[in-house]
C-alpha cells in the first residue's frame, strides 16, 4: 500500500479525473475526502470506494468560497485528525475565444481554476505542516505549458497560473517538507469528448496531435497523481509533469 495511513482531500472528485484519483488513492490505503459541488455524484463515488473496501467520505465544497474550504478542512480533521495530501483537481472550461468571452465568464473561470486552488493551499499549509509535511498536486493541463490552438485563452491563462502557483509554493514550503507539483494532461477520454468526436474532423485533429496516437485515460492521470503523492516521489518538488503522450515534447 503506497498511501497507507495518509489522509487526502481531492476536489472535483464526484466524477471524471478526480473520481479516478480518489479510487486509486483509496485502493492504495489512503482515507479519501471526495470534495465537490455535486452531492449526489460525490456520494456515489464514495459509495463505490467503500463497496470495494476503501475508506471514502463525501464533503460538499465550492472551491471558489473560502468559508466552504474551512468547513471542508474542519470535517477532514474531525474524521481523520490529519491532512497529508491535497489534490486541486476541480476545474471548469467556458469555451469562448477571447474576442467573444464575457468578462463575467472570465471571472468565473479565474474563481474556480485559480482562486480555488489558492484558497485550498492557503488553508492546507498549516495542516500539512502539523502532519510533518505532505504533498500538494495541482491539476493543470498541457494548456498550462504551451499555447494550444484548439483551446481558448481563458482556460490557458488559468492553467498557466496554476503552473507557477505550483512552483512558488513548492519553493517556499519545501522547508516544511511540503512538496507541490502539477500534472498536465492532454485531452482525456470522457463522455464530453466522445460527444465532440461525433465530428470526424475534430476527432482527427485531437488524435493527430499526440505522438503516441491515442488519448489519455482518467486512469493514466490518476497513476501520475499516485506517483507524485507517494514516497517514491519524495524528491520531486515544483515539477510540471505532462501526461500527454508526447504532445508538448515537440
Ligand X SMILES: NC(=O)c1ccc[n+]([C@@H]2O[C@H](COP(=O)([O-])OP(=O)(O)OC[C@H]3O[C@@H](n4cnc5c(N)ncnc54)[C@H](O)[C@@H]3O)[C@@H](O)[C@H]2O)c1
Of 15, 163, 177, 248, the one binding ligand X (CB under 6 A) is 15
Choice between 98 and 196, CB closer to ligand X? 196
110 binds ligand X per the rule CB under 6 A:
no
Choice between 131 and 166, CB closer to ligand X? 166
Measured N-to-C along each axis, helices 66-80 and 116-130 cross at an angle, to the nearest 10 degrees, of: 30
Looking up cell 460527444 gives: 195
| Spacing of C-alpha 13 from chain mean position | 9
17 binds ligand X per the rule CB under 6 A:
yes
Choice between 31 and 145, CB closer to ligand X? 145
The verdict on whether 227 is a catalytic residue reads no
Q: Are 176 and 129 in contact (CB under 8 A)?
A: yes
Q: What is the 3-state secondary structure (H, E, C) of 4-29?
A: CCCEEEEECCCCHHHHHHHHHHHHCC
Choice between 81 and 147, CB closer to ligand X? 147
Of 12, 54, 170, 242, the one binding ligand X (CB under 6 A) is 12
Of 21, 34, 63, 180, the one binding ligand X (CB under 6 A) is 63
CB count within 10 Å of CB 160 equals 18
Least CB distance to ligand X at residue 240 (A): 13
112 binds ligand X per the rule CB under 6 A:
yes
160 binds ligand X per the rule CB under 6 A:
no
Nearest to 156 by CA among 167, 146, 164: 146
245 binds ligand X per the rule CB under 6 A:
no
91 binds ligand X per the rule CB under 6 A:
yes
Of 9, 10, 14, 137, the one binding ligand X (CB under 6 A) is 14
139 binds ligand X per the rule CB under 6 A:
yes
- Per CB under 6 A, the segment of 1-9, 12-20, 101-109, 197-205 that binds ligand X is 12-20
* Helix (H), strand (E) at residue 86: strand 85-88
138 binds ligand X per the rule CB under 6 A:
no
243: which strand partners? 185
- 171-190: contacts with ligand X (CB under 6 A): 185, 187-188, 190
- Residues at the site binding ligand X, with contacts judged by CB under 6 A: 11-12, 14-18, 36-38, 61-64, 89-92, 112, 139, 141, 185, 187-188, 190
Which residues have a catalytic role annotated?
A: 155
Amino acid at each position: 500500500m503506497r498511501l497507507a495511513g495518509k489522509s487526502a482531500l481531492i476536489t472535483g472528485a464526484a466524477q471524471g479525473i478526480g473520481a479516478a484519483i480518489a479510487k486509486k488513492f483509496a485502493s492504495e490505503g489512503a482515507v479519501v475526502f471526495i470534495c465537490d459541488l455535486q452531492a449526489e455524484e460525490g456520494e456515489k463515488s464514495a459509495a463505490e470506494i467503500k463497496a470495494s473496501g476503501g475508506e471514502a467520505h463525501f464533503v460538499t465544497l465550492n472551491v471558489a468560497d473560502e468559508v466552504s474550504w474551512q468547513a471542508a478542512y474542519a470535517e477532514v480533521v474531525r474524521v481523520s485528525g490529519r491532512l497529508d495530501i491535497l489534490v486541486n483537481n476541480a476545474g471548469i472550461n467556458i469555451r469562448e475565444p477571447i474576442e467573444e468571452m464575457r468578462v463575467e465568464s472570465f471571472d468565473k473561470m479565474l474563481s474556480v481554476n485559480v482562486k480555488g486552488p489558492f484558497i485550498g493551499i492557503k488553508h492546507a499549509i498549516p495542516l500539512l505542516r502539523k502532519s510533518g509535511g505532505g504533498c500538494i498536486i495541482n491539476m493543470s493541463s498541457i494548456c498550462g505549458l504551451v499555447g494550444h490552438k484548439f483551446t481558448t485563452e481563458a482556460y490557458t491563462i488559468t492553467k498557466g497560473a496554476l503552473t507557477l502557483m505550483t512552483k512558488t509554493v513548492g519553493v517556499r514550503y519545501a522547508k516544511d517538507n511540503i512538496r507541490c507539483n502539477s500534472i498536465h494532461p492532454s485531452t482525456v477520454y470522457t463522455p464530453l469528448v466522445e460527444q465532440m468526436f461525433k465530428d470526424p474532423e475534430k476527432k482527427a485533429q485531437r488524435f493527430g496531435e499526440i505522438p503516441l496516437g491515442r488519448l489519455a485515460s482518467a486512469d493514466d492521470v490518476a497513476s501520475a497523481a499516485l506517483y507524485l503523492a507517494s514516497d517514491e516521489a519524495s524528491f520531486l518538488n515544483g515539477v510540471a509533469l505532462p501526461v500527454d503522450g508526447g504532445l508538448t515534447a515537440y
